[in-house]
Structure 1
């Protein structure tokens, strides 16, 4: 099909094809890189990927280091809240030692209030008292000192010689108990 200047229909078709052909020619020219140009492009791509890898690796290392530091701080300052709850108890004991009066009733009241402060501080620190009188002996929470004759069922805690304590479901100190003997 020749381009006939006399035929206006052929000119319109050629004008419509020109932009498409030019675009295809540009694509072909872009794909026709020399081997050296392809190597340079690939080397640049490798360098970019290596840079991205190193940055990602550094970020991961920084995140790991920050996590280790946070755990260390958590361990170091974990007792801080509990210590804050104990400070009023220390203040009360200091005031009791500074008191020069001989009134034993006041001293006993002060010791009782200080004990209540201490128990409150322990509760706030999630320390729970183990006082198992009348319960079945549990070797995970109790330490039997002796067995005594009793009217209670065998292996029942008869007396508590020293209260035990738990913190967050873990035994901090077992209760020292006497247990009833089998009949």
Structure 2
């Protein structure tokens, strides 16, 4: 597997969100490699995007989102589910891509349809906040044999509070993939 370089993330958030589809999320825990194929993502474009956490300003929670690209932004929702994002674009921009669903490839137990479930299956929690996603133990890699697929764009999930930003087609998924969380 070839780990994606930092330059992959230092581009338009929408482009990164689409191009992450089909890539492999890898987390090595106690010598066991957990692997899932990324099949659904959401783009959060920075402080001007009212659905992005950075729209409320720079806080201790969102600090990593303003850092260099290629780092993990992990946060807790509903008090029980961790969610994983990768920071995108130039340092100081405050944008990221949320991972919504994975197709299990190796050593995953439980569901992977939804950001909280995929984090549970991958062993991802807030201890990985700020982790470099170009590292040896937690990274995103290009598959050895990429598959062709069609990308579907839809509005993001659960951001009704964001006004006009709620209806923007910033959720991307692989058409007809059985592991997508919502069609």
- How high is the TM-score relative to the length of structure 2? 0.18
Structure with the greater alpha carbon radius of gyration: 1
Higher strand share: 2
TM-score (norm 1): 0.18
Where relative contact order (Cα < 8 A, 6+ residues apart) is larger, the structure is: 2
